[in-house]
A and B are shown apart, each in its own frame.
Chain A
Amino acid sequence: MIDYSHLIYEIVVWLFLIYSIMIFLIYSWVGIYAFGALKRYTDLNQYTDYKLIATNSNAPSFSIIAPAYNEGMTIVDNVRSLLSLYYNNLEIIIVNDGSKDDSIEKLVIAYNLELIPYDLVEIIPTKEIKGIYRSKNPAFKKLIVVDKFNGGKADALNVGINVSKGKYIVCIDVDCILEQDALLKLAKPFMDQTDERVIACGGVIRLANNCKIVDGKVVEVNLPKKWLGRFQALEYIRAFVLGRMAWSRASGLILISGAFGAFDKDLVLKCGGYDPKTVGEDMELVVRMRRYMEEQKLKYKVLNISDPLCWTEVPESIDILKKQRNRWMRGTIETLWKHRKLMFNPKYGRLGMVSIPYWFFFEFLGPLVEFLGYCIFIIFLLFGIINWPFFFTLFILVVSSGILYSIYAILLDLMSHQVYTKRKDLLILIGTAILEPFFFHGRVVMAGVSGLKDYFRKQHSWGEMTRQGFQQSQENESAWSKIKATIVWSLRNYTPIAFVFMLLYMANVGLEAYWYNTKFHEQIYSAIYFNLFIDNLVFILQFLAVCSIVYILLVYIGFNYLNILIISAFSIFILFQVILFLYFSESQNLLGADVFFYSYEEIQQIIKSSGMINLKNIAFLLLIILFAAIPLTFVSRFKSKNAYAGATLIFLGLILVILPTKFTFNVQNKSEFYSHASISKWRYFINTNFNNYINDHFEWANNWKVNNQGNIKDFGMYPFLRSEDTNDFLGSHFNKIDRPPNLVFLIIEGLGNAYSSPNGYIGNFTPFLHSLRDKSLNWENCLSTSGRTFSVLPSILGSLPFSRNGFLEQNEYPLHFNLNNIFIHNGFETGFFYGGDASFDNMKNYMEFNKVDNLIDLQSFKYPYKKLPSQNGESWGYDDQAVLDKVLITTLEAKKPYMNTVLTLSTHSPFLINDQEFFDKQVDIRIKELNLSADDAKLAISYKKQLASVMNIDHALKNFFDTYQKRADFSNTIFVITGDHSMPEIVLEHKLDRYHVPLIIYSPLVKSSKSFKNIVSHYDLAPSLMAYYRTQYGFKTPSQVTWIGKGLDVGASANGFGIPIMQSKTQQEDFVYAGYHLSNNQLYKIIDNLSEESDESNSTSNLLNERFDNFKRKNQKLISNSALLPDSVYHNFFNN
């Protein structure tokens, strides 16, 4: 998880870097392209004789439309300024948009207006017109004043369009000051068109603040006095001189400023005029016009000319500026959303493939990404994970690039138009360019973010509010209509969320695959990715289909907080998806229903000890929730146009639920890791929990399932009960002494054969254990009975079955025989030694049930014993050195022969040990000693942490035996050394590697060392040891037992029962018998060193299946009856 959060950190940094690089490249392109556009325009129009248009009767007619709302203070002067424009074929339409002041009265008086009958054709629907005025004075014949009810700027412009007679319309803000030749210059591009129709044209807008204005004309240009104005002056230069010119040249312009822009009226009418529902009506209209032209497959251009034609006052108050930028952002979002169909749609050419994506990714997302960057910077700062040299370099680079861009814009402006030519103004502008990133840019970004916030707050309601509307419409409808309406409404609401959720889920799958590639890149191959993707896709479609049904039902019953519920549930689902695959990648175990077999305290201990609870990881998890919740919340505001998409999604999902088709490759012949890596972790989690729930709560279903798996055979009440007839296999290998020898089980946590044996594929990292093999009986092919620790004690001590979720998980243990109670019965002192809390996995319960004499666990240790290093203050318990020392001390004081069971701890995840550095070095030394190939050495190094812990226990065992050998009781003690299972964190070559553990019986009593190659298991230990003590030392042992194993000489051979294996507390899929391994219904032939190859033999498969099923039926009996043997058998033995 820590590595994972580091990965996320790197991904975040790179995403921002890539985004910055994209911006850098785009702005570089804009700079270069704008230079060309400006040069072309200025060079080619330098000697244009605009007077030609001014006087020519063939010049196109223009209608200026200027909406006015409460402009009474300035409107008379503004209109006078418009009337002084040089253009013959012109009408000026002032639309008084229901002003509350005396605008209309002032105009009537100033221009001698009279109400006239006007033949108006309302092509675009608008608010009602009160009256249309024209002047009685012929000097003002160009002027038309329309008085209407208030409807907003777009509505007023639409009225103007309806009233206008010109071929082209020029929409302006009434308070703008136009250059007198503005229309001449604006008309030229329209007159210049040939093959491509010019549909809209804009000019450069400049700031009028602090300029000297006489009679509605700018006579002296000055920079604004206030810095806020200057920043905006710079912004306008960048936007108009660079941005718009470049996009105009590239035929990608989609914004003609609402303050001043000319449009082809015919096309505007065809497109329906301005949209009064949007606040960004200027941009929206241009996009709609372009969209129309693309759909009609007509050639067209949207142009911007670089002449400064219009002067406008910009806000010099920060509050007004914020409102303005807020509105611009809302306008952008509205337009992008309204025309979302265009996004990356090749049908719309450059508009769909370049312009709209550019606006989405850089104009809309730009401020949001920047804001997110600030947030992430603060998070990184709090976590102290900022690399300051990198940060400062990047920061200075970003700021410098911004300054460069601004200065470049000033230079081009100077070269092309020379608006600001005074040296002082230029120097101030350069100073402004330097200060702008620090004092202005951030405010604009924040205004943009608040625009986004307002967009949702004001324009859209939460689902439950929409719901009220839906319910109201359903009243008085028939039941069927209501159901139908419910389904359609639900599907339309559900579809956007479902699709985004699916995208997020699949994006996470991509992350999962990437993470596996990073962590296990040498082992993973393409089929895994394919399977992972397909299995998850199928799963999420199935899941969404099921969820849709729940959703529809909740809508039907009128659940009020549906959106909140679904967003929360889906966000948590995504979070848990990450947790599930991280759990797998860390432990190589799939998390299933077994998670519920741990108590709250146990889970707490596991999580704390793993070091996962830290601020960084919590923040990381919160980040994932945000990552899911934000887009889900965003999309929850919208409905799909119809229910078809949702219906298709659900239909597909339900078909996949019903059809048993498998779409993935078979990777079963590889190791378990591959098959587990390639499946949906969520599917596994749900499946195991579902099955477990059924098993727990519907006993009949379980019995039915088991009993329908083959020929029903009645095993009686106690199917595991049998006569004790185990051969004394061990006796011949030991020297006999005059008293029964002590017995010590050393069960090493996670000790797999792969790294503790000369034939292990990782290498032998237990040199001391290996040295013991020369004096021991050694089983090379021993199997544990589970993939986790939970079954090791019942298997070794009692050769016991699993019951439902492991023998120790039972609330009450059924009476049975095991080494503990039999040894106690034969006068031995027994003990259990564990460095952690023995309550874990109910080990303490079991030992107390067996009445062991010495139960040593966490509570029994004190200083100076050392705990394992803690992560975040939580440690699994005391180190192995401490545990083994306790064994030495306790046995020294023993007054009777003893039988002890020791379970070590250090080789458990997170593999933290005391003296880590020393053992890390030992691993390096060992790798050299083993003379591994380069690849093998690389593989070993990748598990350094785990191998260091293995070398630690090996070292601890050496010290333990060194001390023991000096004691008198050593000579009459038998040590059984084995592992509880192999570490899942270390890669498995074959399925059985998970269970392949060493088994060494070491004792000074061993006559001669010997290695056995037959397959045995932990089940075989208790029978063989019991037979040995009974035969050699006259132990009283029961005549009837419930051992699964038949002894170390029989093991998994055809004479035995076979070895059932449970991987986790809910996974019972493996069975080994007579040289074959049945795993999840797939048969494998076991060859040398427990490696495997797929086998298709039906008869063998049937045989193993039958035996495995028999075991399961017997186990089911145990679950049903909660008894292994009659009480009388048990009590008779102990009472006699």
Chain B
Amino acid sequence: MIFLKIELHNLTLALTALLLFVVVLIIAVLIYGYKNYQLINNAQQWKNLIEEKISYSIFNGIGDIQKDQEFEKLLKNKNFKKIFISVLIESDQRFVGDAHKILKDIFYIYKLDKLAWEKLQSNNIYQNVRGIQVMTAMNVIDAINKITHHLNHKNPYVYSEAQYSIVRLNGFEGLKFLDSLEKPLSDWQQMRLSQAIKTLSHSDFDSICQWLSNQNQTVINFALSLIRKFRIHSIHDNVINLLNHQEIYVRINAIKTLQTIDNSTTMDTLIEIYPKQENLIKVEIIKFINRTGDKSRMQFIKDILEKERDIYILIEVVNLLKKFNDYTHLQEKATDINLDSKLLTVIKNALHSKL
């Protein structure tokens, strides 16, 4: 062991050097901490000032604040500009119409667009994300090309923000990237994109149909969410086709979607596919019947109660019978001495609730 050949004296010297280094670090952290504390305090004051100016401008026009020399002076400070940009992004959701137009004017008057472009073109992913966010908030159409370019960025945060931005700026057209999207769309991203689409035209349905047969399962799910949101009945058959999809969660989503666009054939189709499905799908089909309240399927329901063993399916079935007030069948079933104890409990619960 070479360590033991190091003399204690030398070791003490090494530790002393390390100690000095640690002390220097403590001082550095304290100084840095103090500066940050000041910055945070300033940031809050600046934020209040900017919000005040924006509110004033919205109500009184932009002219007056341009005369404020103090404010002009502050705009030379890079940190102030950062705060300004942040306030603009945050204000995006709060102001619409003319008020939003004022925001845009402020954005250009104070040349914050320059900073936004810098961020958009930066090599730093956080700057890119911030750049995309501000361009989206300020509705900078000129930035679409650059943002579109970021759709292929390797970093998920950047391309996700670019996806959202392009949809915000271009509407449904912005979803074109889905045609060739290989990377998965998270539920969160699907929700954001779906929320960003405000309207649809008939011409857009073709694209949605196309996405339903996409290899990317998350694109299918997104398309289904759009169908649900806009209740696109005309795509019913395409959704029915998804009931043969190999991925169980796509099938579940398809059944959930069918609830919003069902027609006279939907139920028959579901009952037809029922026997070959996994338990999770079966539960969804029973829930589907439950929501439609179609009593004509009573015999199908009773058959399930006889044949199925999965307790989750049985609970749904008993609840359905309860909903359809078929307590007689439940009472008969409760007398069956061979009945599984769990099912008996569920039936007794149902009968008890009647009382």
Contact = CB atoms under 8 A, between A and B. Distances in A.
Interface string A1-40: 0000001001100100110000000000000000000011
Interface string A113-124: 000111111000
A381 interface: no
A121 B311 contact: yes
A397 B18 contact: yes
A514 B36 contact: no
A690 to B, nearest CB: 36
B350 interface: yes
A394 B12 CA distance: 8
B352 A117 contact: yes
Contacts of B90: 47
Nearest to A434: B26
B349 A119 contact: yes
A400 B23 contact: yes
A426 B1 CA distance: 46
B15 A394 contact: yes
Contact of B191 (A18, A56, A387, A414): A56
A247 B4 CA distance: 34
B133 to A, nearest CB: 6
Contacts of B86: 46
B315 A404 contact: no
A384 B47 CA distance: 63
A400 B19 contact: yes
Contacts of B22: 397, 400-401, 404
A411 B32 contact: yes
A401 B24 CA distance: 11
A1127 interface: no
B210 interface: no
A414 B33 contact: yes
Contacts of B93: 49
B187 A191 contact: yes
B318 interface: yes
B11 A58 contact: no
Contacts of A403: 26
Interface stretch (A215-223, A340-348, A415-423, A872-880): A415-423
B184 interface: yes
Nearest to A421: B40
A322 B133 CA distance: 49
Contacts of A60: 187
Nearest to B355: A117
B96 interface: no
Interface in B130-188: 130, 133, 156-157, 183-188
A43 B89 CA distance: 13
B16 interface: yes
A58 B189 CA distance: 12
Contacts of B89: 47
A997 interface: no
A389 interface: yes
A53 interface: yes
B337 interface: no
A191 B188 contact: yes
Interface string B93-108: 1000000000000000
A59 B348 contact: no
Nearest to B192: A52
A81 B2 CA distance: 61
A411 B36 contact: yes
Nearest to B23: A400
A117 B130 CA distance: 53
Interface string B340-354: 001001101110110
B19 to A, nearest CB: 4
B4 A10 contact: yes
Interface stretch (A192-200, A372-380, A583-591): A192-200
Interface string B107-128: 0000000000000000000100
B29 A43 contact: no
B37 interface: yes
Nearest to B86: A46
Contacts of B315: 119, 121
Contact of A119 (B11, B32, B346): B346
A44 interface: yes
A885 to B, nearest CB: 45
Contacts of B15: 390, 393-394, 397
A58 B129 contact: no
A195 B133 contact: no
Contacts of B157: 44
Contacts of A396: 19
Interface string A176-214: 000000000000101111110000000000000000000
Nearest to B33: A411
A118 B349 CA distance: 6
A390 B11 contact: yes
Contacts of B348: 117
Contacts of B192: 49, 52
Nearest to A121: B311
A120 B29 CA distance: 55
Contacts of B49: none
Interface string A56-92: 1011100000000000000000000000000000000
B51 to A, nearest CB: 16
A747 interface: no
A390 B8 contact: yes
A407 B311 CA distance: 55
Contact of B4 (A14, A389, A397, A408): A14
Contact of A393 (B19, B349, B353): B19
Interface string B27-71: 001101100110010000000000000000000000000000000
Contact of B37 (A10, A46, A119, A414): A414
Nearest to A7: B4
B353 A117 contact: yes
A400 B22 CA distance: 7
Contacts of B36: 411, 414-415
A410 interface: yes
A191 B191 contact: yes
Contacts of B248: none
A408 B29 contact: yes
B300 interface: no
Given A14-B3, A390-B12, A410-B33, A59 B26 contact: no
A31 B18 CA distance: 17
B225 interface: yes
B25 interface: yes
Contact of A59 (B8, B11, B191): B191
B195 interface: yes
Contacts of B129: 43-44
Contacts of B23: 400
Contacts of B26: 400, 403-404, 407
B312 interface: yes
Nearest to A518: B4
16 contacts: A14-B1, A47-B90, A53-B191, A60-B187, A119-B345, A192-B189, A193-B186, A194-B183, A194-B185, A393-B16, A396-B19, A397-B18, A397-B19, A401-B22, A404-B22, A408-B29
Nearest 3 interchain pairs by C-beta: A117-B349, A191-B188, A194-B184
Given A14-B3, A120-B345, A192-B188, 20 more contacts: A10-B4, A39-B126, A40-B126, A44-B129, A56-B191, A58-B187, A58-B225, A117-B349, A117-B350, A119-B319, A121-B312, A191-B187, A192-B189, A401-B22, A407-B29, A411-B32, A411-B33, A414-B36, A415-B40, A418-B40
Interface of A: 7, 10-11, 14, 17-18, 39-40, 43-44, 46-47, 49, 52-53, 56, 58-60, 116-121, 188, 190-195, 387, 389-390, 393-394, 396-397, 400-401, 403-404, 407-408, 410-411, 414-415, 418, 421, 423, 426, 430, 514, 518
Interface of B: 1, 3-4, 8, 11-12, 15-16, 18-19, 22-23, 25-26, 29-30, 32-33, 36-37, 40, 86, 89-90, 93, 126, 129-130, 133, 156-157, 183-189, 191-192, 195, 218, 225, 311-312, 315, 318-319, 342, 345-346, 348-350, 352-353
